[in-house]
Homo-oligomer: A and B are copies of this chain.
């Protein structure tokens, strides 16, 4: 009798498990069909890029983007749409920058742009000898005697051997973020940093540089410009080569801005949240298409898809347009602060800020023990037909990481699309709508919505 009962239970459980799997599989297919056949993500991105455009924190365009984003969510009829007030820095580039290599009486213009949060040069610019370094360590070892009065030229290229380009960015990035401040400490009068990209072209790539300590003008130089400058420095004795830098950027007083949040209310656990976000602000040189127009549009598309499919989540699900990821992370910090203050339990926070390219998978930080292994047999099989099934250890993002401090139980998840083209355009004038592929973008929305569904149904 006992054996029969056990057998019966095993059979019931077997069929129940298969029924769940079949139901999940069906739901994922519905999500993908909605994204690929009736997706709104691409058109929304077009509006954001072409009708609003660059939207650096504090700018009039950033405010337009907030208002449009809120209206978009309201039109979708989510259960709740609201703004979170947040004070953000307001840095402006000013006039187009000028950079020249000076070789005796010859001048060679090179493409540069001020790094975000940098200070201006004097009105007529600065001219100084150049010293090329390849790391902060090398800078330190050269010391004040070698650096004082010079422009430091950080020229460590991307390492092409990394398969994931974000790792190349990670290992070269300290030059941009910390290099100028470190050079200033040693008496440098300016800093120019090789653009953080592998591609060799004439586009300078901006990005934030450390906004504290002694401040010197800091600019990014295009990779072609960097290669030219480096070869000139090798060809000529150093004192002959000088660099002329002129920029008029400045930091204005902080501005009131907003995170934009849309929500579907959970039917079982309304105070448990699964949050998906990207950042609404963008650098000023282009349209912030891949960085991070695709991310915000995928976030709201995830919510639209679930609502359109008439899905009633167990937990509350949010799409968040974070403000000020690029030069301050004030939006991410504010979200985390308010989550704690309002005692919102967060199951998971997913960030999509790696471009709107073909999905490969997701990276997870803070999973319960054994959960990733389990996922890699169950969820992996469901995501495999969509080739979004690389579920790996580690991953986060600037906007969601503060949440880990205020709501420690949250699982941080990074959406991982193909990374090969991202740094070709990242933070440069090339980050425009035309460089986004509709299907790649839509597949990303669907992958994210699928993961949200699985988390909502099954937890970790």
Q: Report A's interface with B, CB cutoff 8 A.
A: 32-33, 36-37, 160-161, 163, 165, 198-199, 358, 360, 385-387, 390, 418, 420-421, 424, 437-440, 443
Contacts and interface: CB of A to CB of B under 8 A. Distances in A.
A143 B396 CA distance: 61
A160 B358 contact: no
A437 B424 contact: yes
List the 10 closest pairs (A to B, CB-CB), nearest first: A36-B160, A420-B439, A420-B440, A358-B418, A358-B420, A421-B437, A33-B161, A163-B386, A36-B161, A37-B160
Contact of A163 (B32, B37, B198, B437): B32
A32 B165 CA distance: 14
A385 B163 contact: yes
Contacts of A160: 36-37, 439
A418 B418 contact: yes
A259 to B, nearest CB: 31
Contacts of A424: 437
Contacts of A161: 32-33, 36-37
A227 to B, nearest CB: 16
Contacts of A387: 163, 360, 390
Contacts of A390: 387
A236 to B, nearest CB: 28
A202 to B, nearest CB: 15
Nearest to A39: B160
Contacts of A358: 358, 418, 420
17 contacts: A32-B161, A32-B163, A33-B161, A36-B160, A37-B160, A160-B439, A163-B386, A163-B387, A163-B443, A165-B439, A358-B358, A358-B420, A387-B390, A418-B418, A420-B440, A421-B439, A421-B440
A244 to B, nearest CB: 32
A163 B440 CA distance: 10
A424 B438 CA distance: 10
Nearest to A198: B439
A395 to B, nearest CB: 15
A121 to B, nearest CB: 35
Contacts of A360: 387
Contacts of A420: 358, 437, 439-440, 443
Contacts of A199: 438
